[in-house]
Structure 1
Amino acid sequence: MAQTQLEEIASRISDLNKWRDIFSFHGLEISNGAHQPGRGNTGDGTPAAGEPRGLQPPDPSCAIPVPLLVPVDAGGQPISLDMAMGLRKLLLGKVSHVFSCEWTKAHFRFRQPCSDLAYGLEADKGGTRAILMAVQAHIIRHLLFGRNTAETHLERLQGVGRGEQGEALAAALTELLWAAGGGGRATVCLVTTATHFVPCGDYRADSFTERIQLFEFWEKAAAQEFISDHINCFRGKGSHGVILFVYSLLFSRTLERVQEDLKGTATPLLKLSLGSISCTQVCPGLRTPQVPIWLCSLCGRHGVLFSTNSLLLSCWRAERVFHLHFYNGQQEQIKPTQLTIDTHSHHWEEDQREDTSSPGKRRPPVEMAIRTKWAGATVSWNGTEPFF
């Protein structure tokens, strides 16, 4: 009888361990979302007395799908508590701050393959758009000018299939990480199946930072091949792909060099405002590009202006009358926006014919941005309703 009871107890303990492993594997023991009032909680999101910090009610939105998790023995270096705290301080200012739901859900997702906007990433409203549009600029550069092809026209971009989308994304991410590493190294961050450290102090767990594995590369081609092999870890739903890329950027640069870049200021890279997080740094090098692609910030909204003519910036004749395409990733944009730029028209005559007495008369920000490069140029929207 005693033996039977012991076997039953052992069986129940085994079941408990099994479920504990399952919940731990899926990251359900911790949360980065808002806490709901209830037992074990003070009602304002603060852990109740005696409740361990970091062990919060689970948030299903933070659970990463199994196919997007790499095995713990895949190589690389596991993140440490010090590394995680360094990331938090640089990005959010405090180790107790965590990413909003908007950021945790953000990943690199393309428009429908082989469509009018097949080359474009979808960008939700919020702070992640700055990151997505910076990557978008490099995707367009790769598709138009980064390969040995004479097809540098919009139709070439529209014919992109799912495979080419992944290839272009891998090339864009690699290019940016390699540049962040000074042209000699790149670090890629992926999420593993295991938690690498136990949160302590003011550090607040978020269910994925604690599982980061760092993979370092000293050859650009090897880095791009690795990213290409794991591209779904950045573009898959639930992958936290945008955050992984930001982490990879910082580790490619190294946290120490990023601090030096900030000149010792305590201002975080990401700005918290009314519960949302927005990006405050856009690469100034993109203002004077080697190819005709510009990353623009227009009244706080980011987008990409580009030309399919590689000679636009090197031949003055090409700058008389030419086309620019604008893409901002918003769901409202369902077709390409082509603008015709005329740098030799008499725009002031057109201005005199317009009724300037009407209240609220103003130019679209896209036009104003174009005129910072080509002063006095007229901009035709070719039937598209101008947007602000």
Structure 2
Amino acid sequence: MGDRGTEHAAPTELEEITSRISDLTKWREIFSFHGLEVNSTTHQATPFPKQGRSSAGNGPPGAGESAGSQPPSTIPQPLLLPQGVGGCPISLDTAMRLQKLLFRNMTPLFSCEWAAAHFRFRPPHSDLAYALEAGKGGTRAILVAVQAHIISYLLFTRETECTHLERLCRVGQWEQGQALAMALAEILWAAGGGGRAVVCLITAPITMMPREGYRANSFTERIQLFEFSEKAAAQGFICDHIHCFKGEGSHGVILFLYSLLFSRTLERVQEDLGDTAPLLNISSGNITCTEAVLSLLLTGRASPRELCGSQELESGTGDGDGEAPWQRGTVGFLRWERAPVERQVSAGAGHGQRDLRQAPGLGTAQVPGKGPRAQVSPGLRTPRLPVWLCSVSGRHSVLFGTDSRLLSDWKSERIFHLYFYSGQQEQTQTAHLTIDTHSHHWEEAQREDPCSPRKGHPALEMAIRTKWAGATVSWNGTDSFF
């Protein structure tokens, strides 16, 4: 009897194993069809790694990765969350609206550069421990804007015994993750009008079938939306899942951009834009952020006019959603670009012929077909804290001071210190600048022809003078590089 039972049990177990292998083969074919990879490693919903542990997205490239880890552009593994956490899977209609808002139509997809972009810090406990690697691609604007909020948190919010630049240099791996989480939550909360935040994570397998007119990208279809009505809850959730934004292959920058749009709501973002212009520009295969994205990162509203102090905004007569567009935020904005200026050509040229030359522009830029761009609004030039996102000749960087009283006490603005981080890999130390607003050297230099070859002031100095007109800038022995 016992032997006969054993004979029946063995085939049953064998059939079960065969069935499971068959199921595995079937799912591998499905994953392969959607461009996914099967990996035995699964990310768990865990809080920050303890100090000293290796974590993806920290240290030199390849640190903490196994030999068989996926390249950055592949799709990350879904996040496994315990029951009861909540969240709502993205619908096909919502995914289509999202793609149309980003690209105007639903054909383009994110480039490999965008897919690989995530929030990666410089080595901890170093001169640039606070700094994100921003690179030179189209995601740079988002990374540098988040960098400005990270600096604001580390310098003026976080409780620590360190002072001045020590607050930025003496940052470990755990503090890096915490600073990133606080910065992301702060930006999302502002986009939600101070009453909500939505966090997007890749958590679920693809459950919807794309329809005609929609081009799947294998990760937007796997988004899960988590909405929070309390800021502390949003901060805690992002802290617990910060690896979803800073890990290799996490698509961290895209996930944050999605979170930003859903926090504002797609409807209000479209209202902010006011026309059919997309949020992202595509030119020669490069995808870059428009000023609407910068405005959303800095003011919580996706309206380019928030950055430009137009006559209506300056006088307070412009319409809006009940908030003063020029109100002072935590992080400011400075912009300077060389504006083409029409000048009469020298003798010998035909009558009425004009020469288009590059001349210094004070916080303005000539927009083809639209005339000069207005100056940045006063509220962004003078934020509550001395931290600015800078757009200098189209390149984004961060300028900041360590004295919280700088913009609230006029005596502090006579001679003071600012620090500069370009986001570029070549920079190994924070640049130290001394600003003198009572020097007369600049007044003498202004008497020269603006197009004179002697007028060789670095673009960053020109951006600083959009805030402190007539100031002189000393690089304290460092060669000006921006």
Normalization by structure 2: what TM-score?
A: 0.68
Q: Which residue of 2 aligns with 1:245?
A: 256
Residues 45-90 of structure 1, C-alpha deviation per residue, up to 9 Å, x if partnerless? xxxxxxxxxxxxxx97543343x63349653000000111111011
| Structure 1 pair 337–60 and aligned structure 2 pair: CA distance change class (3 A) | closer
Counterpart amino acid of residue 30 in structure 1: H
1:1-388 counterparts in 2 under 5 A?
Answer: 15-22=21-28, 24=30, 28-31=32-35, 62-66=73-77, 69-71=79-81, 75-149=86-160, 151-263=162-274, 265-281=275-291, 282-283=294-295, 284=307, 286=332, 287=380, 288-348=382-442, 351=445, 359=453, 361-388=455-482
**What's the CA shift for 1:360?**
8.0
Larger relative contact order, structure 1 or 2 (CA cutoff 8 Å, min sep 6) = 1
| Structure 1 pair 60–291 and aligned structure 2 pair: CA distance change class (3 A) | closer
Residues 98-121 of structure 1, C-alpha deviation per residue, up to 9 Å, x if partnerless? 101111100001110010000011
Structure 1 counterpart SS, 2:239: helix
**What's the CA shift for 1:19?**
2.9
1:60 and 1:94 map into 2 onto residues whose CA distance is 29
**What's the CA shift for 1:92?**
1.3
CA RMSD of aligned residues (A): 2.7
**Aligned 8 A contact 1:152 1:309 in 2:** no
Counterpart amino acid of residue 323 in structure 1: H
Residues 342-366 of structure 1, C-alpha deviation per residue, up to 9 Å, x if partnerless? 0011124774999999748532111
**What's the CA shift for 1:202?**
1.7
**Aligned 8 A contact 2:204 2:224 in 1:** no
1:245 and 1:209 map into 2 onto residues whose CA distance is 12
2:395 and 2:22 map into 1 onto residues whose CA distance is 50
**What's the CA shift for 1:255?**
0.6
**What's the CA shift for 1:162?**
0.6
> What residue ranges of structure 2 are gaps of 5+ in the alignment?
1-12, 37-69, 296-306, 308-328, 333-379
**What's the CA shift for 1:155?**
1.4
**What's the CA shift for 1:153?**
0.3
| Structure 1 pair 62–82 and aligned structure 2 pair: CA distance change class (3 A) | farther
Structure 1 counterpart SS, 2:182: helix
Structure 2 counterpart SS, 1:189: strand
**Aligned 8 A contact 1:78 1:211 in 2:** yes
Structure 2 counterpart SS, 1:143: helix
**Aligned 8 A contact 1:31 1:205 in 2:** no
**What's the CA shift for 1:232?**
0.2
2:152 and 2:253 map into 1 onto residues whose CA distance is 20
**Aligned 8 A contact 1:305 1:327 in 2:** yes
Residues 169-200 of structure 1, C-alpha deviation per residue, up to 9 Å, x if partnerless? 11000001000111001100000141131111
2:156 and 2:95 map into 1 onto residues whose CA distance is 37
**Aligned 8 A contact 2:386 2:407 in 1:** yes
**Aligned 8 A contact 1:189 1:247 in 2:** yes
Structure 1 counterpart SS, 2:211: coil
Residues 238-261 of structure 1, C-alpha deviation per residue, up to 9 Å, x if partnerless? 000000000001111111111111
2:191 and 2:32 map into 1 onto residues whose CA distance is 33
Counterpart amino acid of residue 433 in structure 2: L
Structure 1 counterpart SS, 2:167: helix
| Structure 1 pair 151–250 and aligned structure 2 pair: CA distance change class (3 A) | same
Counterpart amino acid of residue 75 in structure 1: G
Higher helix share: 1
2:220 and 2:465 map into 1 onto residues whose CA distance is 43
| Structure 1 pair 315–60 and aligned structure 2 pair: CA distance change class (3 A) | closer
| Structure 1 pair 131–352 and aligned structure 2 pair: CA distance change class (3 A) | closer
Q: Larger deviation: 343-352 or 160-169?
A: 343-352
2:443 and 2:267 map into 1 onto residues whose CA distance is 55
Of all paired residues, the percent bearing the same amino acid is 63
Structure 1 counterpart SS, 2:33: coil
Structure 2 counterpart SS, 1:83: helix
> What residue ranges of structure 1 are gaps of 5+ in the alignment?
1-6, 33-58
